Chain A
Amino acid sequence: MNLSKRRGALVAASITAAMVLSACGGSDDNGGEGGGGSTGGTFSMYIDEPENPLVPGNTTESEGSQVVKSLWTGLIQYGPEGEVEYTGVAESIESEDNVTWTVTLNDGWTFHDGTPVTAQSFVDAWNYTAYSPNAQGASYFFSNIEGYEDLQAPTDEEGNVTGEPAATEMSGLEVVDDTTFTVTLTGPFAQFPVTVGYNAFFPLPESFFEDPQAAGTNPIGNGPFKADSEYVPGTGITLSKYEDYAGENEAQADGVDYKVFTDLNTAYTEVQAGNLDITRDVPPDAITTAADEFGDRFLESPSSQFTYVGFPTYDPRYQDKRVRQALSLAIDREAITDAIFNGTRAPADAAIAPVVDGYREGACEYCEVDVERANQLLDEAGFDRSQPIDLWFNSGAGHDAWMEAIGNQLRENLDLEYQLRGDLDFSQYLPLGDEKGYTGPFRLAWAMDYPSPQNYLEPLYSTAALPPAGSNSSFYSNPEFDELVAQGNQASSNEEAIEFYQQAEDVLLEDMPIIPMFFGLEQAVHSENVDGVFVDVFGQVDTSKVTVNN
């Protein structure tokens, strides 16, 4: 009897074995084709799902931006260090007074559908993006162009649209001829040419305006690669080299296959297996092993990401700048970047990030640990240490550990109790800040739009950027700071501008409406199949420079 029982078991076991074996057979047939996407000069690259259709003026996040930058070339391009290079559509962008800018285009640029790129292509695109009924995410980039306000629909106090905008075209944009147009700004801004490399400023072909919806899935640009197929959500898009590309930075590879992965770990595993060529990101728990495993195919470079902890300056408790300075002095940033981030972030020692011209090492006096001085400043300010400090951050985004570390350092160094307030989702957290709802220091981050120190100052701390219009969640307002930024904007040369911006930064870092915490570092890995991979200061790979081996 026992014997026959065993036999039954054996039968069942062999059924499963047979199933597994037949599965093996299947794999051999298909195995050879697994890496098939990377032969013949094309390569594949990981992206997360872009948030919006592939329309440049509606793309304000990294994933869509990576694809859009392969498909389009703007007026100027940025070099690897973020320097402005006239290798794009513009021959020159010049101004006598920093207010009226004349943009002259190069001849010979065409869209992927064969139509020429003209001055009109830019002016139409910019008007389309700025026109509020089109609801384009990047519309605020045009807010310093004359006539922008006329393209914004009127709203009542509750934020309901009450009518149509007064105009459909900004008065500050004027087409002179096919290759020339002028831009009139609302005030002097010497950094204007630096800003126009951003994707909000890319040109659009005539066909776009006939059906913007369709153009979002079948994008037609003027860049080194053109779309071969439509964009499929959750899957990706395949691009091939645009043979009639007029710029000097033409694509080295025949094509790029953007593959959407919802889980970074999976994408990373595919690179390990050689089925995927590039990921611009490495899972946090693989960081320590990736360098050994990939050798020189593991890349690390500074990114523009700047993480800071803001103070609610509207709260009486944090109105004294000595309190803000003291809290900053009590935080050991390096301990946090080492212990919690495995060195994947750098301790911040300035408000202007290292990736832009104008960064000064150690510009922030209060970013060094000095417990004694911190305690002294706190006493001078008469800070009530018996009340706990609320530490705010948005939930589910991996901020718990380091915010708690800050709390522990404050407790240890300043004898302060703390309370973590990390229960709100981003969609609740941000509006709360806009309504002056934070009751203590709060986490926020910034990634630059264009490589200028101005982009690290004006949108974050100027009076003009107070919520809800801007990102000045600290509600910091200092006329001296505003004035210095304005002087920088008006400066005649870049050197002069940087000097003013640095003075503004000094004012800021004395007032400390924020605690600079970390500068980002970008990690990437790639397969042996590709070379020339470089992650730029925007955290993106210039796909035109990637070469495919074999």
Chain B
Amino acid sequence: MGRYVARRLLLTIPVLFGASFLIFAMVYALPGDPIRALGGDRPLAPAVVAQLKEQYNLNDPLGVQYLKYLGNLAQGDFGTDFRGRPVLETISQRLPITIKLTVVAIAIEAVIGIIAGVLAGIRRNSFFDNVVLVSTTLVVSIPILVLAFVAQFVFGLKLGLFPISGAQEGWYSFILPGLVLASGSLAYVARLTRTSVAENMRADYVRTARAKGLPNRTVVVRHTLRNSLIPVITFVGADIGTLLGGAIVTESVFNLPGIGRAIFDAVRAQEGAVVVGIVTLMVFFFIFFNLVVDVLYAVLDPRIRYE
């Protein structure tokens, strides 16, 4: 198991290099002149433009730009944005917000999603099952932007239950945005769990367990649920990676200055160093949580072994 994890972690190194170069190339390929856009209606002085292009190596060909970036990276320098703000500082300021939002959203989607899915799954075609089916279809089909504004208007402004925006009230500020962010995934988790549980309820081992005279509770929790969770864990694990990449819409509406907004702005401004820095981090998260999921498989299903 230890060797398997080590090998997987080693494999991330070439992936990170490849990803960072691809991202670098994509930002490089974006049309337009980022420095010209900085000036807006009124062009910057020509010598200032030249200075900025020099400073950010914008006159170099792609390969040279990338090597210079790697060279700086080797010295622990992640570069700066066009405003001279270090990329690391941007990440360290914004990541905690995104992490909190992710934790809340994942907790909501996992707990509510799995409970709803299990209850619906063990009592298929019941009233509750239909409620879950209808409500999840509804939630999945509403764009998150609409959901966010409605939630903010109703629960924030009209009822005053939650702060309208910002992160001033600690974890509490993250509940409403977390709910909105989790809603879509919650629906998927509930449906995945429901199908999986429903299927397993008819499996031979469940019948055997019942025949042995095990109480219903044990049959559902120890046997059915454990086996049913593999697809759910896969989904939730991938979702963690995605959510850590930032949620632009939710962050914007609830004014949480997280990673999503930072990367959106950086791409628009064509700031190579920022985009590469953040996206590489996202790629790493993604790989890492997929590894965690793979390890969890072995925990859930003893038949799966990693040598």
Contact = CB atoms under 8 A, between A and B. Distances in A.
A469 B257 contact: no
Given A132-B50, A273-B164, 12 more contacts: A5-B126, A9-B131, A27-B162, A139-B45, A153-B50, A159-B50, A216-B84, A232-B93, A260-B255, A270-B165, A275-B164, A431-B36
Contact of A434 (B43, B47, B116, B156): B43
Interface in B85-124: 85, 90, 93-94, 112, 115-116, 119, 122-123
Contact of A266 (B50, B115, B253): B253
A12 to B, nearest CB: 5
Interface stretch (B8-16, B51-59, B200-208, B291-299): B51-59
Interface stretch (A332-340, A364-372, A443-451): A443-451
A431 B49 CA distance: 13
Contacts of A139: 44-45, 47-48
Contacts of A51: 38, 83
B93 A132 contact: no
A27 B161 contact: yes
26 contacts: A5-B126, A8-B119, A12-B115, A12-B116, A30-B172, A34-B160, A53-B85, A61-B40, A140-B45, A152-B47, A216-B83, A232-B93, A234-B93, A234-B262, A263-B253, A266-B152, A266-B165, A266-B252, A266-B255, A267-B165, A269-B164, A272-B157, A273-B160, A424-B32, A425-B31, A434-B36
A267 B253 CA distance: 9
Nearest to B268: A425
Contact of A427 (B34, B41, B128, B257): B34
Contacts of A434: 36, 43
Contacts of B169: 30, 33-34
A23 B169 CA distance: 13
Nearest to A52: B83
Contacts of B3: none
B270 interface: yes
Contact of A23 (B50, B157, B162, B164): B162
Contacts of A229: none
Interface residues of B, number: 67
Nearest to A272: B157
Contacts of B257: 233-235, 260, 262
Nearest to A11: B119
A160 B165 contact: no
B36 A269 contact: no
Contacts, number: 200
B36 A430 contact: yes
A207 interface: no
A428 B32 contact: yes
A186 B258 CA distance: 48
B2 interface: no
Interface of B: 31-34, 36-55, 59, 83-85, 90, 93-94, 112, 115-116, 119, 122-123, 126-128, 131, 149, 152-153, 156-157, 160-166, 169, 172, 175, 251-255, 257, 261-262, 265, 268, 270
Given A23-B161, A135-B55, A16 B36 contact: no
Contact of B41 (A155, A160, A272, A444): A444
Interface string A421-436: 0001111101100100
B143 to A, nearest CB: 15
A418 interface: no
A61 B119 CA distance: 56
A262 B50 contact: no
B128 A135 contact: no
Contacts of A426: 32, 37, 40
